[in-house]
Amino acid sequence: MAASPQELRLPERVGRYEIERLLGRGAQGAVLLARDAELDRSVALKLLKRDPHNEPGTLVSEARIVSRLQHPNIVTLHDVGNYNGCNYLVFEYIEGLSLKALIDNEGALPFARCVILMSQILAGVAYLHEHDIIHRDLSPANILISRDGVPKVTDFGISVLRQSLDPNTDSSAAGTLRYMAPEAFLEQPPSQAVDVFTLASIFYEMLTGRRLFDGDGPGDIINEIMHGPAVDMSARGFDVDARIARIIEQASRRDPATRYPSAREMKNELDAFRLPRQENDPDADVHSTVEFLLRRMSFKRGFSSLSQHVGQLLEIASEDSLAPAERLVNIIAKDVTLSQRVLTMANSAYYGKGEITALGRAIVLLGLDQVRMCIIGVLLENEFEAGSTLLRQAMALSFHSAALAKALAPAFGIRSRPEAFSCAMFHDLGRLLTIHYFGEEHAEILDRAARLHCDELTASRQVLGIAYHELGAAVGLQWKLGPTLVGAMKPLPRGVAEMPATEAERQRLCAGFANAVSRIRYEHDSPDYRDVMLADVAHRVGPVACLDPAEFDAALRESAALTAQYARLLRIPVEDGSGIARLVTTENWAGAA
């Protein structure tokens, strides 16, 4: 009788596969990292325990069907074979970690990340179900998270083809005990509802960091699965959106006839939460994660009242507006915070002396340019009221880049300097929203960027399922900011910029450049390193902007002075050696441009 993989020393070769090391062991066998010598690629080879019920011919037959399946959320099966009496399966190798390891390391995952990951997992399982395959052994250990954050369902060791099941013979319990469905212990033939029950357990564990069935031994676990109370998230002390709680409750019902019949139905229900639709909605094709995040922001804190008028205010406050001043006064007067800010700026020593109490006079004294800056600043401050120190620092960073863009607008051939200020101020809106509304996800973005040596933009797409600028654009549309401001949220092109054909494209490049310069100054304390990075970003916009070093240096000084005032308004401490301190310093600016 052949030895099990646990009793075997690692072979040097299994078939054509060169064995490199052990990846892990499980109830079914051992998973080995191997090299496919013929195709020169790494693979994951699962060497199964010898099972008299699992004939090689049956395994090969099923593997031929499974190997033809291709989906971004399932691990592809490449090959199947037999080694010393033990069957083996060869899968694509996913460099990353399992969902189990992720939960073990981090505990409960951030809500938005849970919903996004589960929707992707359901997509993979739904694909299997639609090809008449029941997984039967889903668990966090059998879901891999790739380095770019994509979940992939793996381990088809006991999967079966639904259409080939014999109800009279294939009724044995199979799977990982804590994640098995009740019918597995009742000698009922498996159905797609088996996987649905398991997915409910996995979703619960992702959201809470705890197993749904966590008895001390096999008997206790089975008793919980068969006779425990229905899953009630609130009764268990977890504050989860009621719609998500209902999805888990229905998916985990003991009677398979009352669950979602397949992963597709469960996914449809989850996606109805992620992307609510309205009849005749012209934006119905918006990315689902944008819809979910917009709803999440609205749920946590409603949009400020000022946001309903911002588009109209910015239009009236533009340089070429022919609207009467009374319209601007009337709208500003509707928002107490904005009115106070305009009056405060008008009465400050920087703009004039004397006590000004009339909005109309304050607007005349400040000029439309400064009023526009007021409107933008107050809109963001209203939306992010009571924000963290990190958020206020990020707002100061955006303000610095806005002041810099306004000063550099002529170099980019831009006619409207106030609009350049607005575009740069809103350029990083997606990041500001993430810091404020999704603090845990933002921390994960920073950690991932550091670990993987990638930029925040790349990490934001991996964690949120969408990049910062796409999130900002979605909210910009909600606020009716207009196509120029929304378009300016796109990042600066990675290579050398092409000559823009429109004013909007010039605004985008100016905003991207100004934000890049401000981030360099904020994040790096080495003058030599800053010079190198500034020279690089200046080179990227070289064909578009005529950046005279002396004018560039003057623009940086002006931006620093304005940002120092803004930091005082937001009560941001300026500590020696901090990023804010570097932004507001008016000496020793590098003329890297």
- List the helix and strand counts (H, then E) for the chain: 23, 11
Cα angle 459, 70, 57; round to 5 = 135
Is 137 assigned a catalytic role? Answer: yes
The CB density around residue 260, as the number of other CB atoms within 10 Å, is 25
DSSP 299-330: HHSPPPGGGGTHHHHHHHTSTT--S-HHHHHH
Distance CA 252, CA 196 (A): 7
Q: Are strands 151-153 and 133-134 parallel, antiparallel or unpaired?
A: unpaired
What's the Cα-to-Cα distance from 576 to each of 387, 525, 568, 579, 581, rounded to whole Å? Answer: 22, 11, 15, 9, 6
DSSP 419-488: HHHHHHHHHTHHHHHHHHH-HHHHHHHHHHHHHHT--HHHHHHHHHSS-HHHHHHHHHHHTT--HHHHHT
Tokens of 258: 């009352």
Cβ proximity of 199 and 117 under 8 Å: no
Distance CA 176, CA 139 (A): 7
The three-state secondary structure class of 174 is coil
Cβ proximity of 428 and 398 under 8 Å: yes
The one-letter code for the residue type at 63 is: A
Compute CA 295 distance to the chain's CA centroid, rounded to the nearest angstrom. 15
Q: What are the start-end ranges of the E strands in 168-297?
A: none
The CB density around residue 242, as the number of other CB atoms within 10 Å, is 10
With a CB cutoff of 8 Å and minimum separation 6, the contacts of 592 are 530, 531, 532, 533, 534, 535, 538, 549, 552
Of the candidates 581, 555, 554, 577, the residue with the CA atom closest to the CA atom of residue 567? 581
Where residue 430 falls (left for φ over 0; alpha for ψ -120 to 50; beta otherwise) is alpha
Distance CA 518, CA 582 (A): 10
Q: List the catalytic residue out of 36, 40, 79, 137.
A: 137
Of the candidates 26, 303, 310, 367, the residue with the CA atom closest to the CA atom of residue 177? 26
**Which residues partner with 74 through β-bridges?**
153
- Biggest CA–CA distance in the chain, Å, is 99
Cα angle 508, 402, 360; round to 5 = 115
Query: Rg of the chain's alpha carbons, rounded to an integer?
Result: 29
Distance CA 142, CA 176 (A): 10
Tell me the catalytic residues.
Answer: 137
